[in-house]
Structure 1
Amino acid sequence: MPAARLSVVVVTTSRPHAPEYQRYSALLLQRAVAASRAEGWQVDVIAAQEAGLTGSLRAADGSSALLVLGGEDIAPEFYGGARGYAGEGAHAERADEAQIALVQRAVERGTPVLGVCRGHQVINVALGGTLIQDLGERSSHRHEDVPIEFVMADHLVRIENGSRLHAQLGDTATTRSAHHQAVDRLGASLRGVATASDGLVEAIEHRDAPVLGVQWHPEDPGAVSGQLESLLGTLAQARALAA
């Protein structure tokens, strides 16, 4: 019996304007792909900026699950925000459109989704939620003005009892994150299932569909051992329940 197919969706695989960031993003992708294959998935990678809306939907059609990884800020027009906010960088609107559509289709079809960092935010925006555009200079969720390999910050999150995430990670989890934005108003049928000490929503779950988003990076080299595999396990479990 062939392995189930997992589409790992990234913003892009080419950032000539930001080579150090691209190298680090490629490392995270490589680790996510390796862990997914070790869990038994047949993996394909979709670069949403290059593939665009139609190409991304076509490439992921028939996938058993989606893993949406991190990247650039979502362009604010997709959630009713304004441009010119603090910390705003380059956007990738083709990727935004494609990833949002992939999540919306997955929810309609009941396809399992795991969103990581930006992917977590994509889930919220895809279902009508909004984002806090900048957490400010004193945010503890990333290290500022350091080389990219040191940007991650460690902190604890508390996980809601009874959630699918709680079944995987327990009451609390030590997480590694690097973000200056966060989930604000929750999208339709989403609930916050993990929070940081400052009250930020660090994980979301769909109430009915097998969709989970985490704001942190379990695929980072410094993440807690086994955490990525536990989160990937939510995809396999959801697929098994649907079989």
Structure 2
Amino acid sequence: MPSAALVHIRDSRPHAPQYQDLLDALNGGAVTALRAAGWDVDLRPAAEQPLDTLLDAARRADVVVILGGEDIDPRAYGSTDQRPHETPYHVAADEAQLAVIRDTVAARRPLLGICRGMQLVNVALGGTLHQDIPGHRSSTGDPFVATTVRFDRPDPISAAGDLLCSHHQSLDRLGEGLDATARAVDGTVEAVRHRSLPIWAYQWHLEHPRSASRQLAPVMAALLAASGAARTA
């Protein structure tokens, strides 16, 4: 049975219970879909556990997944806050997840980033972010919008139905070794892969309960297979 360490931000947000409910639903979608596909799943809150515990969980997993959440502190990529509307940062989670990413990259182990997780992968590899862009989330009702992307290389979910986005930040300068593999119609980078390491990342929410069985589970299986092929090449 393959194993996955899913690293999110936190289990509790007393200041933002509705947002916590939203993220709980996304994380739950990931856990449910992966377990149904035969994965052993370990969900870990980066801001609420010691770094050594997080690193141990990541090192024991076949694939490490960095999940979504709030904006990344721009100091992590050498910038200042340029957003029109300020929202809280989770600096402890930023630092812990970046440490997990860098440890996973150094060991050349499979890594998947989703939404904020894709942005963290980019930052960990020296990239930067656009801090506010329009058109990639809804401001009323359901925050997810279906996006259309152009894939620049084969992808296990290129025909998997709606790609659900909910983000207002995006990749600017790509991190070292990353190539854009999918873009939205406005040019926004929506997926990246590393040229030589088993690192894939997506800006849309593969783990949404409406999508996870059709998108997240196939991507995880393909990433694990690709990493094995890379190790034996």
TM range (shorter): over 0.9
Q: For 2:155 and 2:9, how far apart are their aligned partners in 1?
A: 30
SS state at 2:48 partner: helix
Q: Which amino acid aligns with 1:213?
A: A
Deviation sequence 1:26-55 (CA, Å, 0-9, x none)? 111111011111222211111001124333
Relative to the length of structure 1, the TM-score reads 0.89
Q: 2:104 aligns with which of 101, 106, 127?
A: 106
Q: For 2:168 and 2:124, how far apart are their aligned partners in 1?
A: 19
Cα pair 1:46 1:56 within 8 Å, conserved: yes
Q: 2:125 aligns with which of 107, 124, 127?
A: 127
Q: For 2:63 and 2:57, how far apart are their aligned partners in 1?
A: 12
Matched residue, 1:19: 17
Q: For 2:2 and 2:188, how far apart are their aligned partners in 1?
A: 34
Q: For 1:34 and 1:222, how far apart are their aligned partners in 2?
A: 11
Matched residue, 2:85: 87
Relative to the length of structure 2, the TM-score reads 0.92
CA-CA distance at 1:233 after TM superposition? 2.0
CA-CA distance at 1:68 after TM superposition? 1.1
Matched residue, 1:49: 47
Matched residue, 2:65: 67
Q: 2:179 aligns with which of 191, 202, 206?
A: 191
Matched residue, 2:6: 8
CA-CA distance at 1:85 after TM superposition? 2.0
Q: Which amino acid aligns with 2:138?
A: H
The percentage of counterpart residues that share the same residue type is: 39
1:143 corresponds to 2:141:
no
Q: For 2:17 and 2:106, how far apart are their aligned partners in 1?
A: 37
Segments of structure 2 that go 5 or more residues without pairing to the other structure are none
Q: For 2:44 and 2:212, how far apart are their aligned partners in 1?
A: 26
Cα pair 1:6 1:41 within 8 Å, conserved: yes
1:154 corresponds to 2:146:
yes
Q: Which amino acid aligns with 2:19?
A: Y
Cα pair 2:149 2:184 within 8 Å, conserved: yes
Q: For 2:228 and 2:100, how far apart are their aligned partners in 1?
A: 21
CA-CA distance at 1:200 after TM superposition? 0.6
Segments of structure 1 that go 5 or more residues without pairing to the other structure are none
Write the mapping of 1:153-232 to structure 2, written as runs, cut at 5 A: 153-161=145-153, 166-170=154-158, 174-223=162-211, 226-232=214-220
Cα pair 2:30 2:212 within 8 Å, conserved: no
CA-CA distance at 1:172 after TM superposition? 9.0
Q: For 1:32 and 1:79, how far apart are their aligned partners in 2?
A: 28
Q: Specify whether residues 173 and 207 from structure 1 end up closer, same or farther in structure 2 by C-alpha distance, changes over 3 A only.
A: farther
Cα pair 1:52 1:95 within 8 Å, conserved: no
CA-CA distance at 1:155 after TM superposition? 1.3
CA-CA distance at 1:105 after TM superposition? 1.3
Q: Which amino acid aligns with 1:216?
A: W
CA-CA distance at 1:93 after TM superposition? 0.7
SS state at 2:68 partner: coil
SS state at 1:7 partner: strand
Q: 1:237 aligns with which of 222, 225, 230?
A: 225
SS state at 1:195 partner: strand
Q: Specify whether residues 81 and 205 from structure 1 end up closer, same or farther in structure 2 by C-alpha distance, changes over 3 A only.
A: same
Cα pair 1:56 1:102 within 8 Å, conserved: yes
